[in-house]
Every structure is written in structure tokens, then in C-alpha cells.
Amino acid sequence: MKILITGGFGNLGSWLVRHFCSAGHEVSILARQRKSFLDAFPFEFIPCDIGSSASCEDALKGRSFDVVIHTASYNDTFLPQYNERALQINTLGTRNILQHLNKADLKNFIYLSTFHVYGASSGTITEKTPPQPIHDYATTHLFGEIYVEQFSRTHRLPYTIIRLTNSYGCPIDVHSDKWYLVLNDLARMAFEKQMIVLKSNGRPSRDFIWMGTVCKVFELIAQLDIAPRDVFNLSGEQSYTMLNIAQEVKIAYALYSGNEIEISVNENDTNDYPSDLLVDASKLKRIIPYEDTPVFQNEAIQIFNLLARNK
């Protein structure tokens, strides 16, 4: 298959590039700048600023793909003027790609959205749960979903919208800008400081899914004969507290180094965080049966190895 991966040098995008290249597919990466850490894999680089309609037109003119996996987005909510950049990239960037993409031979446009569109952190979340985003990251992705559905109506775009929970896995590039993600942060803290200090009381919980599972699911979606033209949750269907993840990293560090480290929690945090979150993925599993086995310890050890190689 000829596959275009937007944002292919990103945290999950780079895992997808590695996966699809290793599986023998013809992969193209569309991104603003080329990065060298994926050079061991055979891919075509297409330079493009998706925030610019003219740049998308130049980049995509005369090209056709079987499948597009659109992961490019502006995620760093802590940066100044995030709302403006998120609207430009996550929403209008999605529209720019849809506008200039050759849709004649396209089998599936897979849009990576987020479960944050629901605005919920407790209870059972299904695709019937009304979206109620509470921050710009979620809102701009929901707008992106709406553009995908619009182009399905106006241009018969074949699509699949995936609302992903928290994916985890060792960064491929040590210079990743995603070290603030939970497993990455705790593993680096353990490696560098030989201790883990949680900012909370350890009770906040999240649904996690391994990026290896995400890659396999995306490949199965890409292989579908007919795109479902629907929205699906992609999750591990199990929540873990921050203390759970810290304990996994502690075990991993003991296996890696032979040394025990301490975990400390913020005793001043008296919040009683909800613990009943279930992001239901049964709708997706009816067409793409998958199982997600937790591999926190293995990925933490991979992070330790990555950091050790680059000291």
C-alpha cells in the first residue's frame, strides 16, 4: 500500500512510520522539517506546512495514496498562544489537507482525534457520549472531525475517525519533545535521579494503550476493503493511577539496574480523584478485534536504554 503519514516524525507518527516501513508498505512522511532519526527506514519525505493551504497544494499536487493517516497536530498546550496555533494546525490544517488531497484513489483517510473531545474523566465513555470539550486541544480536534465528515458528504471521502486515549511507548528519538508524557517523564526521572516524585497524591487515573497496539490496529484499519465512515474509540479499556505507573517504573528500574528506588507522593494533595473511567472500545473491536497487553515495564526499560546510549 502507498501510505501517507502526516506528522510522521512525531511521537506516535514515528512509531507508525517504523511499523509500516517494516511491514513493507510504501510510506511517505508529510511534515515541516525532515529529521534524521528515521533515516534507517525507506520513506519519502514531503515538506509541507499544513497550516498553509498553498503549501498543502504544492506538496500534494500530482500525488495519490491508498491510505492517509493524519496524525499531525499541535499538542503542546503549555506553550504561549496555543489556542491560535492549535486552530491553525489541528483544524484548518486538517481542512487544507482534505482540500488538496487527491481523493480519487483514496481508500481511507484515518484521522487521529482524541478521547478528550468528550471532556470527561470518569464514568463509561462510548461513541454515543456527547462531546463536551473543555480545552482547545480537544475542541480543535473535534472541529477537525467535523471537517472530515464534511468532506465525506461533499467529496465522498472514505474515512475513519479514531478517538485515541493515552498512548505510551519509548520515544524513537532521544530528542523527542514529548518527555512530559507520564511514562516518559517518570522513567527519565528514575534514570536521572534514582527516585520518583509524583506531583499528585498518586490517585489521578487515565486509560493507557501501548503504541505497538495502536500501530497494529491502524494497519488493520488500513487493510479494510471499505472504510467504515464512522467514529471509534481506541483505548486499553483499563485505567491506571499515576501511582500504578510509578510502581511499574520502579520495578522496571530494579530489573534494569539491580537497585531499588523510592516513590514519593504529594501528601498536600487531598483531592479525591475519580477512579471509574472506562473508555469503551467495543464498537471498534467489532470490526478490528484487538487485545492490548500492558507493557509498561518493558517500555520503561527501553527508555532507560535510550537514555544510557545518549548520555
Domain CATH code at residue 90: 3.40.50.720
Count of the separate structural domains present in the chain = 2
Q: What is the pLDDT of residue 78?
A: 72
9 within domain boundaries: yes
Contact 74, 116 (CB under 8 A): no
Residue 14 has a pLDDT of 98
Q: How many residues does the chain have?
A: 311
Average pLDDT of the chain is 96
Helix, strand, coil: what percent of the chain each, to 5? 40, 20, 40
Q: How far is it, in rounded angstroms, from Cα 289 to Cα 185?
A: 31
- In the sheet that 166-168 helps form, which strands lie side by side, from edge to edge? 166-168, 205-210, 239-241
Residue 79 lies in a domain: yes
- Whether 121 and 188 map to the same domain: the answer is no
17 with 153, same domain: the answer is: yes
Q: Answer yes or no: do 271 and 162 share one domain.
A: no
Identify whether residues 15 and 114 lie together within a single domain. Answer: yes
pTM of the model as a whole? 0.96
The pLDDT, as a whole number, for residue 80 is 81
48 falls within a domain: yes
Same domain, 201 and 113: no
Name every residue whose Cβ is closer than 8 Å to that of residue 268 and which is 6 or more positions away in sequence: none
Q: Is residue 42 part of a domain?
A: yes
Residues 92 and 198 in one domain: no
| Same domain membership, residue 201 and residue 107 | no
The DSSP annotation for 27-43 comes to EEEEESS--GGGTTS-E
Statement to judge: residues 104 and 191 lie in one domain: no
- Render pLDDT for 65-82 as a digit per residue (tens, 0 to 9): 999 999 999 987 677 888
pLDDT of residue 311: 84
DSSP class of residue 293 equals: -
> Which grid coordinates are listed for 295?
507493557
Inter-residue contact 106 to 67 (CB < 8 Å): yes
Angstrom distance (rounded) from CA 260 to CA 250: 7
Which tens digit of pLDDT belongs to each residue from 184-227? 999 999 999 999 999 999 999 999 999 999 999 999 999 999 99
Q: What is the pLDDT of residue 77?
A: 66
Query: Quick one: which of 186, 110, 185 has its CA closest to 148?
Result: 110
Interatomic CA distance for residues 47 and 68, integer angstroms: 16
Judge whether 263 lies within some domain: yes
What is the C-alpha separation between 247 and 88, in angstroms, rounded?
A: 39
- The answer to whether 277 touches 205, Cβ cutoff 8 Å, is yes
Give me the pLDDT at residue 75, please: 80
- The answer on 151 and 260 residing in a single domain is no
- Is residue 283, in this structure, part of any structural domain at all? no
Grid coordinates given for 109: 483517510
Mapped onto helix, strand or coil, the DSSP state of residue 124 is strand
Q: Is residue 286 part of a domain?
A: no
Q: What is the pLDDT of residues 104-157, one digit of tens each?
A: 999 999 999 999 999 998 999 999 999 999 999 999 999 999 999 999 999 999
- Which domain CATH number covers 247? 3.90.25.10
Let me know whether 97 and 175 are in one domain. Answer: no
pLDDT at 258 over 90: yes
Whether 75 and 97 map to the same domain: the answer is: yes
Range of the domain at 100: 2-167+209-234
Distance (Å, whole) CA 209 – CA 190: 22
Are 25 and 116 members of one domain? yes
Asked, for residue 289, whether it belongs to a domain, the answer is no
